[in-house]
Amino acid sequence: MHLLIDMNLTLRWVDYLRGGGHEATHWSTVGACNATDPEICEYARTHGLIVMTNDLDFPHILALTRFAAPSVILLRNEPLVPEIRGLAVLAALSVCAEELKRGAIVSLDLSDLPRVRVLPL
């Protein structure tokens, strides 16, 4: 899977996810730092990427548009760093792989148990 890491998450996620066998790109390396969430969402949809974020705007955009892509990994609650949440993210990517390929929002709160909403909403 190829993930697009949102600006609100550290660049360290890129190396962590790559170390876990995934492709990862931080938005700061492909787009403007002041890009809007709809612009990032459209970029991810166009390029077949999964957005990883802690921004609730992405599920809101998907609910309003009723699009089935891009899939979103939504990290809820601090801390948002791979050193603490990384294993849960890798597990969610594995357990929810089929849903993410088809289109889904996978939310991880402090329990680190994934909750899946299949798209479109």
Is the overall model pTM greater than 0.75, yes or no? yes
Q: What is the mean pLDDT of residues 22-27?
A: 98
**Can you tell me the distance from the alpha carbon of 86 to that of 88, in angstroms, rounded to the nearest whole number?**
5
Per the domain annotation, does 87 fall within a domain? no
**Residue 26's pLDDT is what?**
98
The answer as to whether 109 is a domain residue is no
| Assigned domain for 78 exists | no
Cβ contact 89:75 at 8 Å: yes
Note whether residue 20 is domain-resident.
Answer: yes
pLDDT score, position 47: 97
Does residue 118 belong to any structural domain of this protein? no
**Of 16, 10, 90, residue with least CA distance to 54:** 10
Give me the pLDDT at residue 97, please: 97
Domain that holds residue 21: 1-70
Of the pLDDT bands very low, low, confident and very high (cuts 50, 70, 90), residue 112 is: confident
pLDDT tens digits for 81-100?
A: 999 999 999 999 999 999 99
